Structure 1
Amino acid sequence: MRQIDSYSHILPRAYFDRMAELAKDKGAIKRWLTIPVLYDLDARLKMMEDFPDYQQILTLSSPPIEMIAGPEQSPEMARLANDSMAEIRDQHPDKFPAFVASLPMNNVPAALEEMERAITKLGAKGIQVFTNVNGRPLDDEEFWPIFDAAVNKYDVPIWMHPARGANMPDYASEKKSKFEIWWTFGWPYETSAAMTRMVFSGFFDKLPNMKLITHHMGAMIPFFDGRVGPGLDQFGSRTSDEDYEGLLKRMAKRPIDYFKMFYADTALAGGQAGLRCGLEFFSPKQVVFATDCPFDPEGGPMFIRTIPEAIDGLGLSKEDSEGIYFRNALRLLKMPCDC
C-alpha cells in the first residue's frame, strides 16, 4: 500500500551547514550532527530504496529557525530552507512529492512575505510552526496574521511541532530538566498546552476551516479525553481571578469538540496503544501517517518499519488504512490520487 509520510524531517545540506555556523552552542545541536540521513540526501535516498511504496512530505527539522537566528538573519535561513526543500522535491518527485514551508517566526512581516513566496512561487503545500516562539505562545496576537493568512488567504494546512528544551525545569527549585523529561513528557505537554491555548483563544471560532496537524497523535489530549471533556465542562470553577466561566458560556461548542477539530499523526515511535487511543479520539479521517524519520535508534529506517506494523496490527478496515496511509494526506495537501 502506498505510504505518504506526512511528518518526516530534513536539514538540507546548505541549510545544515549554515545552521552549524550560526549555532552558538554546538551542544544544543549535538544530536543533529550525528544522523547522516538528516542532512545527507544520498544517504536518505539509499535508505528509502528498501521501502518502494514509501514517500515523504519534507518538513524542516528542529531546532526552530528563530532559536538559531535573530530576526535579522532568520528570513535568510527560511529562504534557504524552503529553496532547498523545493529543489529536493523537484529533483526527486517520486520520493518527495511535497514540502512544507518554514517561516522566520521571530520576524512576522518577513514570515508573511516568505509564506507568500514559498506557497505561490515554490509550491509549498503548507506551513510549519513550533509550539512556542522562543518562549512566546502561538496565541500571542502578533502571530495571528500568520494563521489568518494560512487559512483564509492560502487555505493550506499547518504542521505544529513541539519545541522545549532542558532549560525548562520540571521543578521550580531547579534550573534544568533532568533525565530528558523535557523531551519524553515535556514535548507532549508542550503540544497539549499549545492546543489548549488555541481552543480557548478562539482559533476555531475565528478560523473554522483551520487544518492543524498535531505531531505525535495529538500528544496528551486523546488519553485525557475525560479531563478535556467533563473536566473542562467545569472550566472556571477552579479559578477565582479570571472570568473563565463566562468564557465557557460564550463558546459555541464544548471544549472537547474543539479539540476534536485538530488533525493528528501516527508518529508515536511504534507504540500501538497510543495509536488506538488517538484514532478513537480524532477518528481515522483526521489522522495521517507519519514516522518522525530519521529520529529513531537506527537513524532512519526503524520507524518506517515499526509504525506500519503497529497500524496494521489494529485490524482497521481497508478504507481507514488507506485514509491514514495516503488518502487523508492527499486531501489535506490538495494533491491528486493517482492510485
Structure 2
Amino acid sequence: MGVHHKLSAEQPSTSEFQPTSTIVDIHTHTYPPSYIDLLASRDTVPYIHRPSDGSDPRLIILSSDDDPSKPVEKRGRPVDVSYSSWDEKLKFMRQHNISTSVVSLANPWLDFLPSHTALGTAQQINNELNTACESQNAKQDSTQRLYAFASLPLSAKPDEIVSEIQRLSSLKYIKGIILGTSGLGSGLDDPAMDPLWSALEETSIMIFLHPHYGLPDAAFGGPDVIGRSGHVLPLALGFPLETTIAVTRMYLSGVFDNFPKLMMLLAHSGGALPFLAGRIQSCVEHEREFVANGGSKQGPKRDVWDVLRTNIWLDAVIYGKAGLKGAIEAAGPNGIDRLMFGTDHPFFPPLREEVDGKWTSVQSNLAAIGGIGVSQESVQKILSRNAARVLNLEL
C-alpha cells in the first residue's frame, strides 16, 4: 500500500485544532419522542425504563445492558433530553461550529418490530425526520441545516421494504438509510437481501452501515469480564469487529460483484477493515476452495481494494490520528475524498468538566483530522465538502 498523502507523525492534543470553516456531521443520532414511547412500552431488550422517582429514563439496548444482578434503575445508560430534542441537537451543533447534520435514528433502529407493524412505524418515523428537517431548513434566519438517514422496516415483507426504499427516494431531506449488520436476520450476505440491494442501487441511496449487535459475550470472557469494564469491550472492540465481519461477508459472498454501484458509508472508519484489508485480500488469493485457485466455489471476483475505493466511504469517527491515517490510505489515491466527519452525538458525552462547552469525543476527532499533516483543502474535504458532494447537501 503506497503512501499517497503527506502525513505527520505527531499526535496533537484535542485543543490544538479549532476549525473555523463549515463542518458537516454525518454521524449523529436521535430517538424521536414516538420512538422513545415505543421503547418505553417494552420490557425486553431493547427497552426504556422510566424510574418512578422522575429521574432520567434508562436506555437498555444491548444484551449486556440487561444485567439481572443490577436493579433496573442502574442498567444501561441514562437518556436525557439530548437524545430526543431537536433544540438540544441544534445547541450541540452551535457549540461545535457544525452548520449541517445528517441525523439518523440510533440503534437498534426498527429491527425488533413485529412484521405487521414494521412498515407503518418506519413510515411514521421517516416522515417525522423529513418533516423536522424541512421545518428547520425553512427558517430564513437560521444558519443550521438538517438532513436525515431513514430507517427500513426490515421485519416487514420484502416487497414492503422495497416500496419504502422507493418512497424514500422522493423525500427531499432524506439522504440515505441507516442499516444494521443483521439485515433480514441472517446477515448482509443473505441472498434474501438481493431485492433490497437492487432497490438501493437503482435509487442511488447511500447506505450508512452501523453496528449494534457486537460479538458474543464469550468472545470477551463472558458477562463477568464484561461487567468489570462496562461498555468498553462491546463498544471499543465489538462494534468495529461487527462492521468488519459484516462487510467482509458481503464481499466474500459476491454482493459487491452483483451490485457494483452500491454506495456504503461505514461507521467508525470502517472498524478494522482498513487495517485488515490486505490480509483479507491475501487470504482470498490463497484460498484453494475458490474457482480462481482450482476449487469449486466462486469467491469474490473483485479485489477488496477496488471495493474500498469504489463502493465504500468512511466516517472519521476514529478518535486518533493513527486510525484516521490508515482509513485514508486504505481508501486509495483519492482517500481524502472518501472520509466524512462525524460526532456520534448524543453518545459519549463529557463525564468531566467541558472546555468551552466542547465535547472531548468531538475534539478528539477534530484533532486527528487537523493533525495528519494534509493541506487545509484536504481538511475541509473531510469536514464538509465530501459530504456535500456525495450526499448532495445544500450547505
Shorter-chain TM-score range = 0.7 to 0.9
Q: Is the 8 A contact 2:30 2:105 kept in 1?
A: yes
Per the TM alignment, residue 131 of structure 1 is displaced from its structure 2 partner at its CA by 0.9
- Tell me what 1:183 maps to: 235
Per the TM alignment, residue 77 of structure 1 is displaced from its structure 2 partner at its CA by 2.3
Are the structure 2 counterparts of residues 162 and 37 from structure 1 closer, same or farther at C-alpha, using a change threshold of 3 Å? same
Per the TM alignment, residue 19 of structure 1 is displaced from its structure 2 partner at its CA by 2.6
Per the TM alignment, residue 248 of structure 1 is displaced from its structure 2 partner at its CA by 8.0
Q: Is the 8 A contact 2:101 2:145 kept in 1?
A: yes
> Take 1:252 and 1:95, find their aligned partners in 2: how far apart are those partners?
44
> Take 1:140 and 1:252, find their aligned partners in 2: how far apart are those partners?
18
Larger C-alpha radius of gyration, 1 or 2? 2
| 1:4 aligned partner, one-letter code | V
- Tell me what 2:193 maps to: 143
Q: Secondary structure at the match of 2:83?
A: helix
Per the TM alignment, residue 243 of structure 1 is displaced from its structure 2 partner at its CA by 6.3
| 1:197 aligned partner, one-letter code | R
CA RMSD of aligned residues (A): 2.8
Mind listing any 5+ residue stretches in structure 1 that lack a counterpart?
Answer: none
Q: 1:208 aligns with which of 248, 260, 264?
A: 260
Are the structure 2 counterparts of residues 248 and 39 from structure 1 closer, same or farther at C-alpha, using a change threshold of 3 Å? same
Mind listing any 5+ residue stretches in structure 2 that lack a counterpart?
Answer: 1-20, 48-58, 62-74, 138-142, 352-357
- Tell me what 1:332 maps to: 390
Q: Percent identity?
A: 24
Verify: 1:314 aligned to 2:358, yes or no.
no
Q: Is the 8 A contact 2:104 2:148 kept in 1?
A: yes
Q: Deviations over 1:258-289 (max 9, x none)?
A: 24432111112x22211111111111111111
TM-score w.r.t. the length of structure 1 is 0.86
Q: Is the 8 A contact 2:275 2:326 kept in 1?
A: yes
Are the structure 2 counterparts of residues 182 and 50 from structure 1 closer, same or farther at C-alpha, using a change threshold of 3 Å? closer
Q: Secondary structure at the match of 1:7?
A: strand
> Take 1:199 and 1:183, find their aligned partners in 2: how far apart are those partners?
24
- Tell me what 1:84 maps to: 128
Q: 1:14 aligns with which of 31, 34, 53?
A: 34
Report how many residues are paired. Answer: 329
Are the structure 2 counterparts of residues 50 and 247 from structure 1 closer, same or farther at C-alpha, using a change threshold of 3 Å? farther
Q: Secondary structure at the match of 1:126?
A: strand
Q: Is the 8 A contact 1:125 1:333 kept in 2?
A: yes
Q: Secondary structure at the match of 1:116?
A: helix
Q: Secondary structure at the match of 1:311?
A: helix
Verify: 1:41 aligned to 2:41, yes or no.
no
- Tell me what 2:217 maps to: 169
Per the TM alignment, residue 122 of structure 1 is displaced from its structure 2 partner at its CA by 5.2
Q: Deviations over 1:58-105 (max 9, x none)?
A: 1110113112x2112222321222112112211222434311111011
TM-score w.r.t. the length of structure 2 is 0.75
- Tell me what 1:155 maps to: 204
Q: Is the 8 A contact 1:233 1:255 kept in 2?
A: no
> Take 2:383 and 2:296, find their aligned partners in 1: how far apart are those partners?
38
Q: Deviations over 1:43-63 (max 9, x none)?
A: 222232223343210111011
> Take 2:364 and 2:247, find their aligned partners in 1: how far apart are those partners?
28
- Tell me what 1:3 maps to: 23
- Tell me what 2:270 maps to: 218
| 2:144 aligned partner, one-letter code | K
- Tell me what 2:16 maps to: none
Q: 1:296 aligns with which of 348, 367, 381?
A: 348
Q: Is the 8 A contact 2:148 2:175 kept in 1?
A: yes
Q: Secondary structure at the match of 1:5?
A: strand
Per the TM alignment, residue 329 of structure 1 is displaced from its structure 2 partner at its CA by 0.9
Q: 2:96 aligns with which of 37, 47, 51?
A: 51
Quick one: higher RCO (CA 8 Å, sep 6+), 1 or 2? 2
Which runs of at least 4 in structure 1 moved beyond 6 Å after TM superposition? 247-250
| 1:28 aligned partner, one-letter code | I
Greater shift after overlay, 17-26 or 97-106? 17-26
Q: Is the 8 A contact 2:130 2:148 kept in 1?
A: yes
